[in-house]
Each structure stands twice: as structure tokens, then as C-alpha cells.
Amino acid sequence: MKIRKAKINDLESIMRMYNSCVKGMLNNNITQWDESYPNTDIIKTDIVNKTYFIAEIKKEIVGGINIDNIQDKAYSSISWKDTSEKFLVVHRLAVKSSMWNCNIGKQLMVFAEEFAIKKNLNSIRLDTYSGNPKGIKFYIRLGYVELGAINLKPDKNEYYCFEKILQ
């Protein structure tokens, strides 16, 4: 598997990967995402901002992740352990549903952690939907600690915020 920065001409394949992931989530009664999010405009902005990375196997996009230092305003209500302001935020981690349980998500998260360490950052922050037990277990298994809950969307339950101190 290869992880690289996404290019604009990857957009259509990235969206196919998201559509697969969302369909798999909905089939597992996980309603974190739907046909309106993540959408083409958001992913295109991530690519233009050079913060979106893809996982490829034999030139097929099987996963993706956005990593930047932009956090939702609601994150300010969380008592983060890392108060240095030297953190990255993970957004929109996804894997093609047929590739679940192949460690692609884990490899993307390890990539994000190594990326943060290379940039001399101290931690990674992220959130996942309270109705996503697979996501919650995944982040805990990777050493992330749940620090509280926020409300991001009026029609959804709360999202749990996680943090991992890297150095």
C-alpha cells in the first residue's frame, strides 16, 4: 500500500471510495455520514489545501484522510491534555467498505502520527460520532483517549473527542 498526497484528478475515485464507505456504515446502522457529507466540495477543498492523503493499492484508492490544524469551534469546550497548540486534527478518515479489516485505516492513522512527529507537533485530535461503535473502538485500540463530547450537527447525537499525545 502506498500513501500519498491527493491530486485534483483523484477526486472522482476518492468520492467512489467515500460512497462505498458511507454505504457500508449505513448497512451497519452507523449514521455518522450520508449522501451529503463528506461531499465533493469539501474533499476538493482538502485537496486544494494540500491536506488530503490517499491510500492506494495497485493504483486503486482504498482510503483517505485529511490532516490539518483546523478544529471545529466546539473543540474549545474540551479540556485537551496537550495545551501547547502544537497539534494536528484528523478529519474524514475513510476506507472502502470491501477493504475494512485490512488495516488501511490503521496505516493512515500511523501515517498521520508520523507526519505530526516530523512537523514537531505534540498530539493529534479528532472526533467520531457517538453512534459509531466501530470508530470508537478503533481509536481506543490505537491509543487515543476520549476527553468529552461535543455537538456538531443539530440533527445528530453528540460526537466524542479523542486525543493522542505523541511526544
Burial grade of 6 (CB within 10 A; 0-12, 13-18, 19 or more): buried
Task: Count CB neighbours of 164 within 10 A.
Answer: 22
pTM: 0.96
Burial grade of 138 (CB within 10 A; 0-12, 13-18, 19 or more): middle
Place of cell 469551534: 73
Spatial distance between the Cα atoms of 83 and 123, rounded to a whole number of angstroms:
10
Q: Which of 45, 85, 83, 97 is nearest to 66 (CA)?
A: 45
Per-position pLDDT tens, the chain of length 167? 999 999 999 999 999 999 999 999 999 999 999 888 999 999 999 999 999 999 999 999 999 999 999 999 999 999 999 999 899 999 999 999 999 999 999 999 999 999 999 999 999 999 999 999 999 999 999 999 999 999 988 777 899 999 999 97
Domains and CATH numbers, the chain: 2-165 (3.40.630.30)
